[in-house]
Structure 1
């Protein structure tokens, strides 16, 4: 079993503070007989009777390794694979990549990184580590 990201519990707490209910930890996806994947968190939130349940899946990334671009490659690959699986298995669930505020400000503002995020429609959940709060939902 793969290890949880060091900010896993931070993001879980931030989601709960924001009114989300954690429904899966991890969210298992099996898009084919040979392939099984685990997204860090599955959550849902009742918005209103008219809108019904909103469901999300969240992949948490810390970006604390030696190379931010290498970690970005891994995160984008995972995001794309998870998105294909979710489209097949749970198309109503929206996938987010959760990243700390400092990485968002220092690395994700790079023009190349922004181009990749736009091209592949990567949705971001930006969280404050110490406050354990969500500071930005970027669709």
Structure 2
């Protein structure tokens, strides 16, 4: 499958935020399905003692929302996110899935009450990236 137009930008923004990219793409080979989430990443959360270090693991599906119909893109993103999350939970329960959304789209569309309700009820975690500065601006769980 073709990479999203913002794929490389999100990859770089994650690296700049301290994440190590471990998968590009993150594969799901499970229950007869062969799927790929855009990115897998990890970072070490250091505790006071080295033996208590914790590795935080995420997978990130990047979406541009550039087509004429935001709702069509949103429906597709929610469905894809849900499928990936359900399968990823079977494969690697300690990895958290995020949907990467451009800040310009987030600011215009993701504050609509109906979109917020769907994201909340579908338990969609968002990572908002600024396509101008190529940085991560916000994480929403």
Q: Which of the five TM-score ranges fits, normalised by the shorter chain?
A: over 0.9
Q: Mapping of 1:66-77 within 5 angstroms?
A: 66-77=68-79
- Of 89-98 and 43-52, more deviation after overlay is shown by 43-52
Structure 1 gaps, min length 5: none
CA offsets 1:13-54 (integer angstroms, 9 cap, x no match): 100000000000000102212x11100000000111424100
Give the aligned length.
137
Structure 1 distance, partners of 2:134, 2:57, is: 21
Contact kept in structure 2, 1:30 and 1:85, CA below 8 Å: no
Partner residue, 2:37: 39
How well do the aligned residues superpose, as a CA RMSD in angstroms? 0.8
List, as ranges, runs of 4+ consecutive aligned residues in structure 1 with deviation greater than 2 Å: none
Structure 1 distance, partners of 2:134, 2:96, is: 21
Structure 2 gaps, min length 5: none
Deviation at 1:130, TM superposition (A): 1.8
Contact kept in structure 2, 1:39 and 1:82, CA below 8 Å: yes
1:52 is aligned, of 54, 64, 67, to 54
